[in-house]
Structure 1
Amino acid sequence: MIRDAPAEALVDADRFRESVMTVGDPVVVRGATRHWPMMHTGIPQAVIDALTRHDAGEMAEVFVGDAAIGARYHYDDAMAGFNFRRETMPFGAALSAILTTADLPDRPSLYMGSLTAERFCPGIEAEVRLPIVPAGVRPRLWIGHASVVACHYDTMDNIACVAAGRRRFTLFPPDAIADLYVGPIDHNMAGQPVALAVGSAPGDRRYPLFERARHRALVVELEAGDALYVPKLWWHQVEATASFNVLVNYWWDGFATGPDQPYTTMLLAMTAIASRPAPERAAWRAWFDHYVFRPNGHPLAFLPNERHGILSAGRENIARVRAMAMRLLRG
């Protein structure tokens, strides 16, 4: 069960980071966006009016799915392509098409995702602020009919806010990855690999290991005005369940210590380590545990801080480690 965020954590970004994000579990923030001007009337039309008022006339990519796919955006049967097509049209025209066809039977499903507010609706970011999001983090918009977005992860911390319609999130913890049958890294719908087993029927012979993870699913229903904090690397399938839906989300790395991203590091480690013999992989695992994951604490804790060298805390030492790594990469 996903817990609700404690009220005392919702005062500001620092409090939320320390009391919620460091725990590493999803939390629901009920009523998080009800102070937004577009939410005051409680009707979707106010959200539509706000989007239209700030429309910058930019061209947007729209996912278009025939009625036969049931608005479940995914691979085609051969996994060579996808079961939807991509069309480009002015944002305002796409918004109008979504609105006017929302309640028509057997219509194609339409979906726009990850639209940066400052490009497509400049100025709306001032109307959709949250005190728990650090200043300077910009929102993105997700607009469409009812839909099912395949189970995936993000490499950033995420707060997803329902502005119109309803959303259902189905989440799995990061350590379920081996049981989810994760698809290709570089051939996917929108940039992230997806968990192919999620949504399959019980006993599906293609995904026998998923039966170990199926019961671990956390499901939460969000109404307009609610928000969900999803920690980085948590798997989540996102269903929009009303005929017209708008979600506003914020992505940021709440624990960045330097310019390098952990995912980039993992990709490089894959190329360097994954194909080596098992004994050598086990040896490198021990080194990663010692220096990176640190189950026993800092590797130089037995020495005074002034003897920790580049393993000392501080941005200047991060820069020294990066410089050393860059020299080694250049040979």
Structure 2
Amino acid sequence: MHAVLPVAKPIRELHDLRPSDLGPGILASTEPVVLRGLVAAWPMVAAACASADAADAYLRRFYRDATVNAMLGPPEIDGRFFYNENLDGFNFAPVRVRLDKVLDELGRYRGVEHQPAIYVGSTTIDTCLPGFHDENRIDLGGRDALGSIWIGNRTRIAAHYDLPDNLACVVAGRRRFTLFPPQQVSNLYIGPLDLTPAGQAISLVDFLQPDLERFPRFALAMEHALAVDLAPGDALFIPSMWWHHIQALEDFNVLVNYWWRQSPDYMDTPMNALMHALMSVRDLPPEQRKAWQALFRHYVFEADEDTFAHIPPAARRALAPMDGDSVRSIRAQLLKRMNR
């Protein structure tokens, strides 16, 4: 069943900012923010505004015989990188290939109506295009950010979340972003956690043809959706854990993004805790699950100084504020227990 869905709301926009103007009001926001024209002065953007061929040539200036991970799909998938019909595999082939060969293929199909889907995702810029950042600079306030580049044609990346905060800068082509707050997870019909197209669990809903008979609660998710179309030079700040669907709208699209975490490096990814909870908590009898729910609220989700105030500081051990040494100690204990 295909029905008319609620229209996604616009995202708050800021204008006339430069790459040196970013501060904690933006980079530590818990809501998405559109930054129109943030990187419009980048030479990469100027090349892309001239033509796709000029953007291609600009990227090749920095290429140094690097290979990248690419995803290749037949024209029949209409750019949507997804599962196969049984959800036990995928509708595309992952390949390891030279970046210049990917650019060659994108150029060969430019203007062709039914193109194969070609996508290079999450490739570290300093590895594959050394020197790019020297000409295309941004000030992230000293954050230890990972700069990555994403290159492809008319592709669709299913809604997913990322743990780090994300500043996504469109530098060639146009992209449409549809965002959902983390609380909409139950309305997005998330697929397997341990078999994913690119490392993150994704929504099974086809955003261009949503089947509300199979996924009826997606209509509820759309009541909370935010959306924006970005042109070359525009950027979007996506806070940690916000679901985002990305559609590239032209034959040649390039995005540069920066990821960073607000937590210390020694902290594990919470996904490890989730997988461990699935293994050890989810299938307990209902009353035991409720008991563990109370414990998790007390020690994790609602923890404050009162949680351990009755214990002398020297005796708090795992209940004390975490640091690198305490995390390593706990990790060692967990590994010992799990390997029995």
TM-score, normalised by the number of residues in structure 2: 0.84
- Kept in 1: contact 2:205–2:211 (CA 8 A): no
Give the letter for the 2:80 counterpart.
Answer: R
Shift of 1:303: 7.4
- Kept in 2: contact 1:50–1:124 (CA 8 A): no
- Kept in 2: contact 1:62–1:111 (CA 8 A): yes
What is the DSSP-based 3-state SS (H/G/I as helix, E as strand, rest coil) of the residue aligned with 1:89?
A: strand
Worse overlay, 185-194 or 162-171: 185-194
Shift of 1:88: 3.8
User: Which one of 195, 200, 207 corresponds to residue 192 of structure 1?
Assistant: 200
Matched, 1:95 2:103: yes
- Kept in 2: contact 1:203–1:211 (CA 8 A): no
Q: Distance in 1 between matches of 2:14 and 2:165?
A: 15
Matched, 1:32 2:33: no
What is the DSSP-based 3-state SS (H/G/I as helix, E as strand, rest coil) of the residue aligned with 2:257?
A: strand
Aligned pair in 2 of structure 1 residues 117, 21: CA closer, same or farther (>3 Å)?
A: closer
Aligned pair in 2 of structure 1 residues 314, 58: CA closer, same or farther (>3 Å)?
A: same
Matched, 1:282 2:290: yes
Counting aligned pairs with the same residue, the percent is: 33
What is the DSSP-based 3-state SS (H/G/I as helix, E as strand, rest coil) of the residue aligned with 2:217?
A: helix
Query: Counterpart of 1:247?
Result: 255
- Aligned residue pair count: 328
- Kept in 2: contact 1:63–1:86 (CA 8 A): yes
Give per-residue Cα distances to partners, 1:241-289, cap 9 Å, x unaligned.
Answer: 0121000111221233633222222222221211111111111111111
Q: Distance in 2 between matches of 1:230 and 1:198?
A: 21
1:221-232 pair list within 5 angstroms: 221-232=229-240
Matched, 1:79 2:101: no
Matched, 1:43 2:50: yes
Shift of 1:306: 7.4
Query: Counterpart of 1:128?
Result: 136
- Kept in 2: contact 1:39–1:46 (CA 8 A): no
1:199-210 pair list within 5 angstroms: 199=207, 201=209, 204-210=212-218
Matched, 1:260 2:293: no
TM-score, normalised by the number of residues in structure 1: 0.87
Shift of 1:51: 1.4
What is the DSSP-based 3-state SS (H/G/I as helix, E as strand, rest coil) of the residue aligned with 1:86?
A: strand
What is the DSSP-based 3-state SS (H/G/I as helix, E as strand, rest coil) of the residue aligned with 1:208?
A: coil
RMSD: 2.9
Gaps of 5+ in 2: 1-9
- Kept in 1: contact 2:16–2:36 (CA 8 A): no
Give per-residue Cα distances to partners, 1:47-77, cap 9 Å, x unaligned.
Answer: 3233101112123333222222221221222
Q: Distance in 2 between matches of 1:300 and 1:9?
A: 45
Give the letter for the 2:41 counterpart.
Answer: H
Aligned pair in 2 of structure 1 residues 23, 87: CA closer, same or farther (>3 Å)?
A: closer
- Kept in 1: contact 2:160–2:203 (CA 8 A): yes
User: Which one of 182, 185, 191 corresponds to residue 183 of structure 1?
Assistant: 191
- Kept in 1: contact 2:165–2:259 (CA 8 A): yes
Gaps of 5+ in 1: none
Q: Distance in 2 between matches of 1:288 and 1:12?
A: 40
Give the letter for the 1:43 counterpart.
Answer: A
Q: Distance in 2 between matches of 1:180 and 1:204?
A: 11
Shift of 1:46: 4.7
Q: Distance in 2 between matches of 1:183 and 1:264?
A: 17
Matched, 1:235 2:243: yes
